[in-house]
Structure 1
Amino acid sequence: MDITIHQSYLPHLDHEASLAFYRDTLGFEVRTHVEYGDMHWITVGPAGQPDTGVVLHPPAADPGITEEERNVITAMMAKGTFAGLNLATKDLDATFERLQAADAEVVQEPTDQPYGVRDCAFRDPAGNLLRIQELR
């Protein structure tokens, strides 16, 4: 089989803050931006990887969830426990410094993990946990 990862989904609460973070701070390209009422679906992705994207979506858009479930999702997002994304870079220290200088919320500074990777962690404006691993 020939299967690739095309898109993953991360919820957002503030499309402008999320767009600024992923576009301006991480340097991702904006692929699509769909608006329906006050809800926004924004697909972003790394430059040079046109077939891989992250869809930033409003968690309230799913008509199948209850208000109570929306509240749980929002609370989990605020804690950084609802969704996450693992990224990779060749220069972890430079990437960390750039994100820290852009006032991204640092969760963990670059660390050599006991399971063999070196990584750091940030939260995006919605609280989603982003781990960035150094490619070796």
Structure 2
Amino acid sequence: MTIWLDDDQQAAWRKLATVVERLPGVLDSQLRRDSDLSHFDYLTLAMLSEAPDHALRMTQLAERTSSTLQRLSHVASRLENRGYLRRSPCPGDRRTTNAQLTEAGWEKVQATAPGHVATVLCTVFASLDAQDVAALDHVMGKVMQTLDADPPL
């Protein structure tokens, strides 16, 4: 027997699916137009900017960007060629690689962040009150727990 979504689930699912499809394009368009970065480029630089010494192992950076090492490596090469990050062997474990934000990368994050934050505020949070934000955080946390479950459903 096939199990279907009930009417409330169907309505919520359609809204979530629309957000999942449309939001990345909105964020990517603003970043490309204003900063010549993709959303994933910016996310990579932003995660490094928040790390101690602006550096992370590539495996940690992949986790923080919800990416595969292969995709991250490709993006890191592009960002390295633009002078925004550098990769080097990890001093404590030569089998792993660190990524570190360069001064130019730090300046790029600082210049890019205000426009990105304004877009997120306008697109996601402008119509939400504090209770909505708390509910969004709660619901997304539950969805992420399911996505992170081992093994996934």
Report the TM-score when normalising by structure 2: 0.25
More helix by share: 2
Using CA pairs under 8 Å that are at least 6 residues apart, name the structure with larger relative contact order, 1 or 2.
1
More strand by share: 1
Q: Which has the larger radius of gyration?
A: 2
